[in-house]
C-alpha cells in the first residue's frame, strides 16, 4: 500500500475520533470558503473580547491568559509568554476605546507575571503548568514587552523589568546570540527569530536608558542579519523546520529588525527589513492568503495558512509603509488583514467567537484545532494599526 493511501486512511481515522465541534469546523474549513468581512472596528472589539474570555477561562485561574482554546480539549492553562505581550495590546485598546476594564485586566496580568518570576530574573517557557519549569530567554524577552508597557502606564514594575533585562544581558553570548536557556519546546540550536527578544530589550532601554539593554539588543539583531540571505530570507528561523520556516517565526525575525531601525534610525536595519518584506510580497495571493511555511526562494510549501504569521507580517508591512511610504506594503497588509477578518467567526459560541485559529483550514499544520492567544493578540494589533493608518 502506498504511503499516500496510508496517510489518507490515518487522516480519516483521526477525523472519526474528533469531537463533534471539531468535526463541524473541519467540514466548514475544508470548503476553503471564508465569511464576510466584519470591518476593522468590529474585528478589534471581537478580538479583544475573546482575549478577555481567554483570561477569565484559563484552566489555571490565576490572572494570566490561556494559551489557547482547543476544539478537542477545551481551555488551556495560562501562558506566561503570551500573557506578557498581550499586555501592550490591552493597554492600547484601553486608551483608544477609553475602556477602564482593559486597564484592570492588564494590571492583573502584570501582577501574576511578577509573582512567577524566577529569582535570577527569567521566566519559564511553556504554560504555567508545563514541565520542565525552567527560565527561557525567548519567553523572558516577550514578557519584557508587557513589563515595559506596565512601567509606562502604571509607574510600577521597573524592578521586575530590570531583573529580567539584566538576566538576558548576562546570558547573551559575545556575538549577540542567545544560545543558553533555549526553550525545551522547540528544536535546539541558534534562532534568528530571537530578534523578538531584542525588541523586548529595546523597550526596556526606553525605560532604563542608562542600562546596557540597547547595546545587547542591537548586537543580537546584527548577529541575525549575518544569517540573512540577499533575498531577505533568514536561516535558522523556525521552531521545527529551519529549511521551511513558519511565517510566524519569520514575522518574529522581521519585527525585531524593524524595531531596531525605529530605535536607531540606522538605515542598514531598514534596508534589511525591506529585503524580507519585499520577498514576502511575492508569496501573497490576491485574496490575502499567505502560505504557512516558505522555502528559501519564498515559495509556499504548504496549502494552509498560519494565521498568526499572516497577522505578524501584516503588522510589519504596515510599519514599513509608515517608514517608507511604499504603498505595496500597505496594500498587501490590507489584503492580509481582510483575509484574517473573513477567517474569524463573529457569530459562533463564546469560546471561538472573535478568536483566531492556529491554521486555516483549522486542521492545518500549525496548532490544529486550536484558537491561540498570541494569534488573537497579533490580529488585534494589526487591525489597530490599519485603523490608525486609514484614519478610521
pLDDT per residue as tens digits for the range 213-233: 999 999 999 999 999 999 999
Long-range contact pairs involving 179-185 (C-beta distance under 8 Å, separation at least 24):
180/137, 181/122, 181/134, 181/135, 181/136, 181/137, 182/136, 182/137, 182/138, 183/125, 183/126, 183/136, 183/138, 183/139, 184/125, 184/126, 184/132, 184/134, 184/136, 185/125, 185/126, 185/130
User: Helix 195-207 crosses helix 247-264 at what angle (to 10 degrees)?
Assistant: 30
The count of residues in the chain is 392
Q: Tell me whether residue 51 is in a domain.
A: yes
Q: Tell me whether residue 10 is in a domain.
A: no
Question: Distance between CA 121 and CA 118 in Å, rounded?
Answer: 5
User: Helix 80-97 crosses helix 100-116 at what angle (to 10 degrees)?
Assistant: 160
> Along the 392 residues of the chain, how does pLDDT read in single tens digits?
555 565 655 665 577 788 889 998 999 999 888 999 999 999 999 999 999 999 999 999 999 999 999 999 999 999 999 999 999 999 999 999 999 999 999 999 999 999 999 999 999 999 999 999 999 999 999 999 999 999 999 999 999 999 999 999 999 999 999 999 999 888 889 999 999 999 999 999 999 999 999 999 999 999 999 999 999 999 999 999 999 999 999 999 999 999 999 999 999 999 999 999 999 999 999 999 999 999 999 999 999 999 999 999 999 999 999 999 999 999 999 999 999 999 999 988 999 999 999 999 999 999 999 999 999 999 999 999 999 999 98
pTM of the model: 0.96
Among candidate residues 251, 288, 278, the one with its CA nearest the CA of residue 366: 251
Q: Tell me whether residue 158 is in a domain.
A: yes
Question: Distance between CA 175 and CA 172 in Å, rounded?
Answer: 8
User: Helix 267-281 crosses helix 213-225 at what angle (to 10 degrees)?
Assistant: 50
Q: Tell me whether residue 222 is in a domain.
A: yes
Q: Which H/E stretch holds residue 388?
A: helix 373-390
Q: Tell me whether residue 192 is in a domain.
A: yes
Q: What is the CATH number of the domain that holds 254?
A: 1.50.10.10
pLDDT tens digits, one per residue of 300-339: 999 999 999 999 999 999 999 999 999 999 999 999 999 9
Burial bucket for residue 11 (CB in 10 Å: 0-12, 13-18, 19+): exposed
Question: Distance between CA 370 and CA 183 in Å, rounded?
Answer: 21
Question: Distance between CA 257 and CA 233 in Å, rounded?
Answer: 13
Q: Tell me whether residue 13 is in a domain.
A: no
**Structural domains of the chain, count:** 1
Q: Tell me whether residue 205 is in a domain.
A: yes
Contact 235, 229 (CB under 8 A): yes
pLDDT tens digits, one per residue of 181-211: 999 888 889 999 999 999 999 999 999 999 9
* Residue 173, C-beta contacts closer than 8 angstroms, at least 6 positions apart: 179, 180
Domain of 268 in residue numbering reads as: 28-390
Q: Tell me whether residue 80 is in a domain.
A: yes
Amino acid at each position: 500500500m502506498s504511503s499516500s493511501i496510508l496517510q489518507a486512511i490515518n487522516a480519516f481515522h483521526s477525523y472519526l475520533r474528533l469531537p463533534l465541534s471539531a468535526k463541524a469546523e473541519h467540514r466548514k474549513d475544508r470548503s476553503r470558503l471564508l465569511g464576510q468581512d466584519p470591518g476593522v472596528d468590529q474585528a478589534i472589539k471581537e478580538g479583544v473580547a475573546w482575549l478577555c474570555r481567554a483570561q477569565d477561562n484559563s484552566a489555571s485561574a490565576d490572572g494570566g491568559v490561556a494559551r489557547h482554546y482547543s476544539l478537542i480539549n477545551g481551555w488551556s492553562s495560562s501562558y506566561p509568554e503570551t500573557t506578557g505581550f498581550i499586555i501592550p495590546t490591552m493597554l492600547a485598546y484601553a486608551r483608544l476605546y477609553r475602556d477602564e476594564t482593559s486597564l484592570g485586566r492588564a494590571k492583573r496580568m502584570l501582577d501574576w507575571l511578577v509573582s512567577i518570576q524566577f529569582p535570577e530574573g527569567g521566566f519559564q517557557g511553556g504554560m504555567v503548568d508545563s514541565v520542565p519549569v525552567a527560565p527561557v530567554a525567548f519567553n523572558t524577552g516577550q514578557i519584557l514587552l508587557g513589563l515595559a508597557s506596565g512601567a509606562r502606564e502604571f509607574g510600577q514594575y521597573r524592578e521586575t523589568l530590570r531583573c529580567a533585562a539584566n538576566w538576558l544581558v548576562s546570558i547573551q553570548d559575545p556575538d549577540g546570540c542567545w544560545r543558553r536557556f533555549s526553550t525545551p519546546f522547540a528544536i535546539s540550536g541558534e534562532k534568528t527569530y530571537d530578534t523578538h527578544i531584542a525588541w523586548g530589550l529595546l523597550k526596556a532601554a526606553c525605560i532604563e536608558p542608562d542600562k546596557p539593554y540597547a547595546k545587547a539588543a542591537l548586537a543580537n539583531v546584527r548577529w541575525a542579519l549575518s544569517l540573512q540571505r540577499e533575498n531577505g530570507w533568514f536561516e535558522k528561523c523556525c521552531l521545527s523546520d529551519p529549511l521551511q520556516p513558519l511565517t510566524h517565526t519569520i514575522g518574529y525575525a522581521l519585527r525585531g529588525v524593524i524595531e531596531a531601525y525605529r530605535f536607531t534610525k540606522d538605515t542598514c536595519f531598514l534596508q534589511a527589513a525591506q529585503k524580507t518584506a519585499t520577498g514576502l510580497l511575492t508569496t501573497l495571493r490576491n485574496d490575502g492568503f499567505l502560505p504557512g511555511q516558505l522555502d528559501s526562494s519564498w515559495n509556499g510549501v504548504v496549502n494552509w495558512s498560519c494565521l498568526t504569521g499572516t497577522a505578524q507580517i501584516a503588522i510589519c508591512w504596515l510599519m514599513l509603509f509608515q517608514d517608507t511610504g511604499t504603498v505595496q506594503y500597505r496594500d498587501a497588509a490590507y489584503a492580509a488583514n481582510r483575509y484574517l477578518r473573513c477567517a474569524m467567526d463573529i457569530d459562533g459560541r463564546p469560546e471561538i467567537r472573535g478568536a483566531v485559529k492556529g491554521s486555516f483550514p483549522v486542521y492545518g499544520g500549525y496548532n490544529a484545532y486550536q484558537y491561540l492567544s498570541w494569534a488573537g493578540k497579533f490580529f488585534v494589533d494589526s487591525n489597530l494599526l490599519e485603523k490608525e493608518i486609514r484614519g478610521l
